[in-house]
Structure 1
Amino acid sequence: MIYTYKDKYTKELRVDCKECFGLCCVALYFSASEGFPTNKEAGKPCINLQSNFNCSVHKNLRNKGLKGCTAYDCFGAGQKVSQVTFSGHDWLKNPECANKMFETFLIMRQLHEMLWYLTEAFILQKDPHIKEKISSLIDNTKQLTLLDVDFLLTLDIAAHRTKVNVLLKNTSNLVRTKFHRKKNITSRSCNVTFPRSDYFGSDLRKTNLRGADLRGACLIAANIRGVDLSWADLIGADLRDADLSGANLTNSIFLTQAQINTAKGDSHTKLPIMIVRPTYWSK
């Protein structure tokens, strides 16, 4: 199966709240430390969720201290579970299915996130053999998203993620090694990783992060203003309150909308084509 550039941005991996039964507002645990005013138990509806599954304060989320809501991205898992897995039967009218629906949503979200990364890896990967493996794993993952709910709930998601991570890491190394060779940088330097705590609140404006391995790096509240992050691997990096004003992330690897939603930026921040600039960023 051939995947084109356009496939990366399919509607399936985009959030469509109108087709969802407010699953992220119920299934998830809300933590005050993650951008919510108070803690909320998983499985308990948010007090702002209405009976039609709309949010009563959607236009004022950030003003009401609900930054976590504006940051969250389910990669389209919400509408998939609501309209496909459960065929449009919501948990309010069918309370006996509620717990299964919430648990399925958490699994589906992980599968859709993997599809996001795998599709980008397919585009970036130049090795035909590995490209074929990625294509096969994309097909396999898509088939998993269509499983019956009972099969989804028994899925070994950790094992599947391990297979995905192998190909993502391989692609990251290939892309960054190629970049460093073009820049006449030793291959050893392209595999440098940074301890998770190194960049917490750090001033990185004079740090060369082009082609850096920032997988899982803690960049909370870091000053990255004007920094070029071309070909830097940002998978799993924590960008909460990181200042990306004027930074260049056009060619950053494995960046997601959720990461950008938690960061700070402005009109001069350069983003990949598939990432939407948050409306609450400074001008």
Structure 2
Amino acid sequence: MNSELWGEDRYPALTAELRGDCTRCAGLCCTALWFSKSDGFPADKPSGVPCRHLRADWLCAIHDRLEERGCRGCRAYDCLGAGQRAAALCSGLRENGEPEGRAQLCAVFLTLVRLRQTLWYLVCAASLRPAGALLPGLERLIAEEQRLEAMLPQPLPAGAEEQWRKNADRTLRRAISLTQQQVLRGRPARQVRDGAGRRLRGSLTGADFGMGLLIAADLSGCVLTGANFLGADLRDADLRGADLSESIFLTQSQINAARGDGATRLPPRLKRPEWWCEKTR
């Protein structure tokens, strides 16, 4: 793809690792996570309690029927490879049926999820042309994340994860600012913090949706060059026909939770969900 904003993937091997593989996991998202009925699950489930649909082989008994069973949250979720990484790091605990072993495995998984959510953004930022000046710092932050992962399954040093995340957040904010400067050329960025249920039109180039509520927002047909989606809630957002190919800091979970079609254009690294209609409406 010839892109104004996206350069080459500087971390292709790491990008591949940031994709979940349930066959190499141990049902960790189905056990470690807290499910909320308001977040697209059929019922609330406490953290540490296995989902009732989790089979003995750690796979989901209704994986091909998640939508009809009211499990849209499960369908949208992406662990960024934290599941198989935790299972590999704790191979001795994977088959351990003891509660203590499962609790430790779940704790490692949750730590990895937090680390990898930020790592995803750092890897994306490393390929952003406008953020080229930040590359040395991004490389150091990515290397530090890998060093933290290598310490697991032992507990991380006190404050190490928090300090790393603060440093990463500062760098990511700078990457957003540099991208907006390039695409807006001095014009102020449009900020949308609450677009829930709204039809969003007008100029959305360089728009800042960061941490915004976009539940059921209508972005169909919009061109979103340089738009920042870091942490935005896109559940049921209408992305049919939208051009997100040069949007920044989107995740697969956000795309999975939204609605799109065959005409929706996605940025590098993200895949079109198989359940999206392939016909443009």
Asked whether the two chains share a fold, i.e. TM above 0.5, the reply is yes
Aligned to 2:259, which of 255, 264, 267? 264
How far apart are residue 128 of structure 1 and its match? Answer: 5.8
Paired position in structure 1 for 2:4: none
Give the distance between the partners of 2:228 and 2:15, measured in 1 at CA.
22
Match of 2:88 among 80, 83, 87: 83
Compare 156-165 and 271-280 and name the one that shifted more. Answer: 156-165
Q: Which of 242, 247, 255 does residue 237 from structure 2 map onto?
A: 242
Q: RMSD of the TM alignment (CA)?
A: 1.9
1:24 to 15, 26, 29: 29
Deviations 1:223-279 (A, max 9, x none): 111001111010001100000000000010011000001001111111113111111
Q: CA deviation at 1:157?
A: 2.9
1:107–1:157: 8 Å Cα contact kept in structure 2?
Answer: no
Aligned residue among 4, 11, 14 for 1:7: 11
- Give the one of 219, 222, 226 matched to 2:221: 226
Shift of 1:210: 1.0
1:102 aligns with 2:106: yes
Cα gap change, 1:240/1:128 in structure 2, threshold over 3 Å: closer, same or farther? closer
Match of 1:62 in 2: 67
Cα distance 1:128–1:278, how it changes in 2: closer, same or farther (>3 A)? closer
Is the contact between residue 104 and residue 152 of structure 1 (CA under 8 Å) also seen in structure 2? no
Aligned mates of 2:31, 2:25 — CA distance in 1: 12
Q: Deviations over 1:149-203 (max 9, x none)?
A: 232385543332111110011011101101112xxxx34x13x433x32x11001
Within 1, Cα distance between the matches of 2:162 and 2:150? 18
Secondary structure of 1:207's counterpart equals: coil
The match for 1:117 among 97, 101, 121 is 121
1:280 corresponds in structure 2 to 275
Sort the Cα spacing of 1:127 and 1:239 in 2 relative to 1 into closer, same or farther, 3 A: closer
- Conserved 8 A contact 2:108-2:153: yes
Whether the aligned pair in 2 keeps the contact of 1:246 and 1:267 (CA below 8 Å) is: yes
Q: 5+ residue gaps in structure 2? A: 1-6
CA–CA separation in structure 2 for the residues paired with 1:228 and 1:129 = 26
Corresponding letter in the other structure for 2:191 = T
Corresponding residue number in structure 2 for 1:53? 58
Q: CA deviation at 1:218?
A: 0.8
8 Å Cα contact 2:10-2:127 kept in structure 1: no
Partner of 1:202: 198
Q: Which residue of 1 aligns with 2:143?
A: 139
Indicate if the aligned counterparts of 1:225 and 1:243 stay in contact, CA closer than 8 A.
Answer: yes
Cα pair distance change 1:154/1:82, threshold 3 Å: farther
Native 8 Å contact 2:230 2:248 kept in 1: yes
Length-normalised TM-score, structure 1: 0.90
Q: What do the CA deviations read for 1:55-105 (whole angstroms, capped 9, x no partner)?
A: 111111111110000100111001111112x13531643432221211221
Question: In structure 2, what is the equivalent of residue 193 of structure 1?
Answer: 191
**Equivalences, count:** 271
Question: How high is the sequence identity, in percent, across the aligned residues?
Answer: 38
Q: Given residue 20 of structure 1, which amino acid in structure 2 is its aligned partner?
A: C
- For the residue of structure 2 that corresponds to 1:14, the secondary structure is coil
C-alpha deviation, 1:7, in angstroms: 1.9
Q: Is the 8 A contact 2:219 2:240 kept in 1?
A: yes
Indicate how the Cα distance of structure 1 residues 124 and 63 shifts in structure 2: closer, same or farther if over 3 A, else same: same
